[in-house]
Amino acid sequence: MTLTRKQILHILCNADLKLKIAILLASSAGLRISELIQLRYSDIDFDSKPTKILIRATSKKKRARQVFITEETTIHLQDYLKKNFGWHKNSLNLDISSIYIFGRTSVTNGGNVHRFNPDSAKQSLQMLLKNHVKNISEQIDQNKNEQNTIRFYEFRKFFSSTVENVCGRNYAEALMGNRDYMDTHYQLSDEDKYQKYFSVEPYLTILDFDKIEENYNDLSQRYKEIEKSIIGLKQYLVSNSILLESLK
Encode pLDDT of 163-195 as tens digits. Answer: 999 999 988 988 888 877 887 777 888 888 899
Encode pLDDT of 222-241 as tens digits. Answer: 666 787 788 878 777 777 76
First to last CA, the chain: 54
The whole-number pLDDT of residue 124 equals: 92
Decide: helix, strand or coil at residue 44: strand
The whole-number pLDDT of residue 183 equals: 77
What CA–CA distance (Å, rounded) separates 205 from 71?
A: 8
Encode pLDDT of 85-127 as tens digits. Answer: 999 998 999 999 999 999 865 554 555 556 788 889 999 999 9
Encode pLDDT of 36-65 as tens digits. Answer: 999 999 999 999 999 999 998 876 567 889
Are 22 and 36 in contact, with CB atoms under 8 Å apart? yes
Q: Which of 158, 154, 156 is nearest to 166 (CA)?
A: 158
Q: How confident is the model at residue 159 (pLDDT cuts 50, 70, 90)?
A: very high
The whole-number pLDDT of residue 146 equals: 44
For the sheet containing 65-68, what is the strand order?
A: 44-45, 52-55, 65-68
Task: Name residue 245's amino acid.
Answer: E
Task: Name residue 232's amino acid.
Answer: G
pLDDT, mean of residues 8-35: 94
Q: If you ran DSSP here, which 8-state letter would residue 91 be given? A: S
